[in-house]
Amino acid sequence: MRDELLRVSGLTVSLAGRRIVDDVDLVVGSGETVGLVGESGSGKSLTARAVAGLLPPTLTAGGSVRFSGTELIGASERVLRKFRGRRVGLLMQDPFAMLNPLLTAGAHIAESLPRGTRRDRQEVVRRLAEVGITNPDVAYRYPFQLSGGMRQRVAIAAALAGDPELLIADEPTTALDATIQHEIMQLLARIQESRGMAVLLITHDLRVAFQLCDRVQVMYAGRVLESGASKALATGPGHPYTLGLISALPAVERTAVRLEGIPGSVPRAADVACQCAFADRCGQRQDDCLTERPPLRLLDSGRLTACRYDVAPAASVAAPPSVPSARKSSANGPLLLVEGLRKKYGQAVALDGVDLRIEPGERLGLVGESGSGKTTLARCLLGLVDPSGGSIQLGGMDTTRLRHLPAARQREIRPLVQCVFQDPSTSLNPAMTVGATLAEAAALAAEQDRRPVGEVLELVGLPSGYAKLRPHRLSGGEKQRVAIARALAVRPALLICDEPTASLDVSVQAHILELLRTVNSELGTALLFVTHDLAVVRQVTDRIVVLLHGKVIETGVTASVLDSPGHDYTRRLVASVPTFTGSDACTI
C-alpha cells in the first residue's frame, strides 16, 4: 500500500442547492496515478477543482477533502494558498488558458519557483530542460511564438516549478497531435517517476487513462460508478457504462462493422438522485434500477461497481476484411484532381507539390501532425485561399482560383464541396434556430435538390422538432449533427471533414463517425477526412494520404498503410497511438 496523500470523502458540489457532484470518494497515494474518466458533464473537472479549492463563487462544496491530513473544504484562502502551486499543481487542457500572453515562458516558470530561486535564470533553464526544452532561448519567447506541444511543455514546467506532491492534470493531451500527445504522456510518466509525485489525471480518453494510470474511477452524472485497477477495468468492466465507453472506442488495428455509441446523454445529478444514474441509457436495466440508488459493491481484485447485476458481455463481431467502398465510375474522370499544389506564406512553405485524387463516393483520409499542411490543403480546396502554384479540378471544372471566378460560376461550383469543422459551437450562428440555419443552406442548392428542413434533420438522426431550437440548447454531438446536416443540405459531391470528432466524447464520436459512414454509403457523398487520429481514420476511410512538411510521403489503402507503414514518419504516427488490450468481451 502507498502512503495516503489525498482522501476525498462524500464530496458534493452544488449550484443553488442542486447537486452537480454527488457523494464522491477518492483516494490518491504518494507517487500514484489515478484517473477520472467519463463523458462531458460527468463532474470530473468540478471534482478536480473542488480538490484544488478553485470552484467559482456560485458553487459550494461539501464533504471532506484531506491533503496530508489537512482539511481543505471550508479552509480559508490563506490556507489554500499554501497548497495550491506548492503542494498541489494544476495543469489544464489548453495551455493558452494557463499562460499569460504578456509573459515570456521563463517568467511563467520564475513566478512559480520557490522565493529564493525566482531570480535564478539557470534554475529556469534547468526546469525547461526537465520538460525536454533544451534551447535556453525559449525562456525569452512569448506563448504565441511557441508550437502547441512547446506551450504544453512550458505549462507543465510552470505547474511543476513549485515542486508539488500532487499534480492535477485536466485533459492535458486532448488538443494535441498523436505524436506530441505520446511525447507529453511519456514526459509526465518520466517526471512522476523521478520525483515520486502523485498525479490525478482527468480525461475522456480511455486509452490514455488505461496506459498511464494505476487506478481508474469512472464518473457519471456527478457520481462514481466504478473504480479499480486500470488493467482490471480495461479487461473486464464491472458496470454497463464502462463497457459502453470501451465498446465505443475506435481501434487502429481493425475496422468495426458498426460503431456503437451509448444512446442519450448524461443527465443532471439532481435529476437522478434516487435511482441508478445510468438507468435511462442502460440496455440491462431492471425495475429496481429506477426506484433506488445502487451503492458501490465490491467485486474481485478490490474493484467497486455501482451496479447490482453482473455485466452482460458485449457481442463480439468480427469485422470483414477491410476493402475500399464501392466507387462510382465517371466518364468525366475523378471527382477531385489536385496536381502539384503549392502554397507559400512569405518564406514559409505550407504545401510543396501535393498530388491528390478522389473518385466519386470515395472516402480519403488526410493525416499528419500540426503544420503538415492538412488544413491549408482543405482551405485551398474550399476556395478560401489561393494556391501559389499547381491546379485543382472539381467535377471536371478548374477551381484553382475559385475566389476570382465570376459570381455565377462560383454559385455553380461551391455547392459541390462543403466542410464540417472541428468545433460546431463556432460554426453555427447562435442567433439562428436550427431550422433557419438549414433553410438558409438549402436555398443554395439547385431547385431539384432542395429538401425540407425536417427531411434534412431526419437524415442526421434528429427529430424535426429540433428545427425550433437554437444551438445553445443542444449537446456537443447534436450541434455536430446539425453542422453535418447544414453541409448536406446543398447536396455536395464532396464533404471535407476537418477534425469533426476531435472535441467529442468517445460515445458521441462513435455516433458521428457512423453517421458519416452512412452518409457516404446511402447518398454517395465522397469524404475527405482530415485528422491526426489514426484509430478514427481506420474506421471511415478507404485510402489514406500522409502529409509531412507539406509533402505527400505515403499513400495507399488505409488498412495496408496502418498495418504495414512504409515510411519512418508513418511508423512513428502508428506507434504513438496508445495501446489498448481489452478482453474479447470488449472487442469492438
Output the tens digit of pLDDT for each of the chain's 588 residues.
578 999 999 999 999 889 999 999 999 999 999 999 999 889 998 999 999 888 999 999 999 999 999 999 999 988 898 888 789 998 887 766 778 999 999 999 998 888 778 778 889 999 999 888 889 999 999 998 887 778 888 999 999 988 899 999 988 877 677 777 788 888 888 889 889 999 999 988 888 899 889 999 999 999 999 999 999 999 889 999 999 999 999 988 889 888 888 988 889 899 999 999 999 999 899 999 999 999 999 998 789 999 999 887 655 444 444 444 444 445 568 999 999 999 999 888 999 999 999 999 999 999 988 788 998 999 999 999 999 999 999 999 999 999 999 998 988 888 899 999 887 778 899 999 999 999 999 988 877 778 899 999 988 988 889 999 999 888 778 888 999 999 999 889 999 999 888 778 888 889 999 999 999 999 999 999 998 889 999 999 999 999 999 999 999 999 999 999 999 999 999 988 876 655 433 332
Q: Which CATH class is domain 4-87+164-305?
A: alpha beta
Looking at residue 580, its pLDDT comes to 60
The reported pTM is: 0.85
Closest by alpha carbon to 237, among 217, 257, 208? 217
Looking at residue 537, its pLDDT comes to 94
| Residue range 344-369, pLDDT digits in tens | 998 889 999 999 999 999 999 999 88
**C-alpha triplet 347, 348, 352: angle, nearest 5°:** 110
As a whole number of angstroms, the distance between CA 337 and CA 357 comes to: 5
Looking at residue 325, its pLDDT comes to 44
As a whole number of angstroms, the distance between CA 430 and CA 541 comes to: 32
- Does domain 336-424+493-575 correspond to CATH entry 3.40.50.300? yes
What is the 8-class DSSP label of residue 258? S
What's the order of all strands across the beta sheet hosting 543-548? 417-420, 494-498, 526-531, 363-367, 543-548, 551-557
Q: Compute the mean pLDDT over every residue in the chain, rounded to the nearest whole number.
A: 88
Burial class (CB in 10 A: 0-12, 13-18, 19+), 426: exposed
Backbone angles phi, psi at 29, to 5 degrees: -90, 165
As a whole number of angstroms, the distance between CA 181 and CA 465 comes to: 40
Phi-psi region of 565 (alpha: psi -120 to 50; beta: other; left: phi over 0): beta
